């Protein structure tokens, strides 16, 4: 009888994936013992443990996570949903969440929406269907997205949203104070004597959705400065839910510079928009910061390497990721129905050469880590 088993299971194992039962048969133990060895749970004698482990190694046995998850009703995978993988904020955020979860024994699977609500729905459903332990969502708010998030939350799925103005009911949220960051940036420009400051990255109609735009507006008002509509420049309808790119910044800047009474400073919605604006300025023979000052937002790696380096607002991206991971873990491992939690971190203005001419040697000094270069890689595949 033992013979029969051995022969049969050995044959099977050679064909495809060996199972826990195969291991057990080869080791002449019960499947449960093998399970204990794998999970390091319960008591197994050292001798037996080694014997089993040897067979596991030899067969290159990989536990079937599907079966495990089905039986145990939990998984050690979390899902991360980001809008766009090319987005440095999303990239760094995902990296830090992944990092934080990894040390707690969780794997992270990433999915992107590519600015499509249909894909967003598909991605969230895929996570849910696979019964991930939790989901971190860094996409821009949409009605259908929120609906799905609330539905999953009702089903007990731990979820945290990052970078949003508001979270659906019952969902944890972590964000940074873009309003304050924008306010600081604009005050910086005003302190330099600028009065006519333009916003690039949205139309008067669309810009209002961003807190950083409100920070811009309110800083202007607080100093008695107005913002005529002609100084709000950018694409009228957004490409997908919430983006602005270099080309948008380029176009917007060109338009602003052709104004009878152009602005003396620019507050750009993000660094890419700002970079596009810088290109446009140089192509038009307008000097930075001499003729026009520019401030960006996000502190992307290349912002430190433009000429001149770009003044920008840095948000604590990695920290947001860590906080999000902590909230998620907290819900996963216990507090499924604790109160909703929210956290808002501070942004920091990073002054570089696009607003002020440094006293001496702009170059080297502005590129140090201390000056706020993001910690993540900006390398390219090679």
Indicate which single residue of 34, 78, 94, 219 sits in contact with its own copies (rule: CB under 8 A).
Answer: 94
CB of 195 to its own copies, least distance (A): 25
Q: How far is CA 104 from CA 107, 151, 223, 320, in A?
A: 9, 27, 48, 17
With beta carbons less than 8 A apart as the criterion, state whether 136 and 79 touch.
yes
Does residue 41 bind DNA (CB under 7 A)?
yes
Question: What would the x/- binding string for DNA be over residues 68 to 107, using CB under 7 A?
Answer: x-xxxx----------------------------------
Does residue 126 bind DNA (CB under 7 A)?
no
Does residue 287 bind its own copies (CB under 8 A)?
no
Q: How far is CA 280 from CA 248, 266, 308, in A?
A: 10, 12, 14
320-339 residues in contact with its own copies (CB under 8 A) are: none
Is residue 221 within a helix (H) or strand (E), and if so which, with residue range? helix 211-222
Taking residue 274's Cβ as centre, other Cβ atoms within 10 Å add up to 31
42-71 residues in contact with DNA (CB under 7 A) are: 42-45, 47-49, 63-64, 67-68, 70-71
Beta partners for residue 199, in sequence order: 232, 267
Beta partners for residue 135, in sequence order: 79, 159
CA torsion, ordered 144, 145, 148, 150, to nearest 10 deg: -110
Choose the stretch contacting DNA; rule: CB under 7 A; options: 38-46, 215-223, 353-361, 368-376: 38-46
CB of 327 to DNA, least distance (A): 24
153 vs 146: CA distance, rounded Å: 10
Choose the stretch contacting DNA; rule: CB under 7 A; options: 13-21, 144-152, 173-181, 256-264: 13-21
Does residue 69 bind its own copies (CB under 8 A)?
yes
The percent of the chain in helix, strand and coil, each rounded to the nearest 5, is: 45, 15, 40
C-alpha 135, offset from chain centre: 12
With beta carbons less than 8 A apart as the criterion, state whether 149 and 161 touch.
yes
CB of 330 to its own copies, least distance (A): 20
With beta carbons less than 8 A apart as the criterion, state whether 264 and 293 touch.
yes
Does residue 29 bind DNA (CB under 7 A)?
yes
Does residue 319 bind its own copies (CB under 8 A)?
no
Question: What would the x/- binding string for its own copies be over residues 201 to 230, using CB under 8 A?
Answer: x--------x-x------------------
Residues in contact with DNA by CB under 7 A are 17, 19-21, 28-33, 35-36, 38-39, 41-45, 47-49, 63-64, 67-68, 70-73
């Amino acid at each position: 009888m033992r013979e029969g088993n051995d022969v049969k299971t050995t044959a099977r194992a050679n064909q495809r994936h060996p199972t826990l039962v195969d291991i057990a048969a080869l080791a002449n133990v019960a499947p449960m013992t093998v399970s204990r060895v794998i999970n390091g749970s319960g008591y197994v004698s050292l001798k037996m443990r080694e014997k089993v482990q040897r067979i596991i190694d030899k067969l290159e046995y990989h536990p079937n996570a599907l079966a495990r998850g089905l039986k145990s009703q939990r998984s050690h995978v979390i899902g991360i949903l980001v809008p766009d993988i090319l987005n440095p904020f999303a990239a760094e955020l995902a990296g830090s969440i992944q990092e934080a979860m990894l040390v707690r024994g969780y794997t992270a699977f990433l999915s992107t929406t590519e600015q499509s609500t249909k894909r967003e729905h598909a991605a969230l459903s895929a996570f849910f269907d696979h019964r991930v332990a939790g989901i971190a969502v860094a996409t821009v708010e949409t009605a259908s997205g929120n609906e799905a998030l609330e539905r999953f939350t009702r089903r007990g799925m731990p979820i945290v949203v990052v970078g949003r103005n508001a979270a659906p009911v019952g969902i944890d949220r972590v964000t940074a104070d873009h309003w304050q960051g924008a306010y600081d940036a604009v005050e910086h420009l005003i302190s330099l004597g600028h009065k006519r400051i333009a916003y690039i990255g949205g139309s008067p109609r669309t810009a209002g959705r961003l807190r950083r735009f409100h920070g811009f507006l309110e800083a202007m008002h607080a100093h008695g400065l107005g913002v005529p509509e002609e100084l709000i420049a950018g694409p009228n309808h957004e490409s997908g839910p919430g983006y602005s790119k270099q080309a948008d910044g380029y176009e917007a800047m060109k338009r602003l510079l052709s104004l009878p009474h152009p602005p003396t400073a620019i507050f750009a919605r993000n660094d890419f928009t700002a970079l596009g604006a810088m290109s446009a300025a140089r192509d038009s023979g307008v000097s930075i910061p001499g003729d026009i000052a520019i401030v960006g937002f996000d502190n992307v790696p290349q912002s430190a390497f433009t000429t001149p380096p770009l003044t920008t607002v840095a948000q604590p991206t990695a920290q947001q990721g860590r906080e999000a991971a902590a909230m998620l873990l907290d819900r996963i491992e216990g507090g499924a129905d604790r109160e909703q939690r929210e956290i808002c971190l501070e942004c920091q203005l990073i002054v570089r050469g696009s607003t002020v001419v440094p006293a001496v040697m702009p170059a080297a000094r502005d590129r140090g880590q201390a000056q706020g270069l993001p910690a993540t890689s900006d390398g390219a595949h090679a």
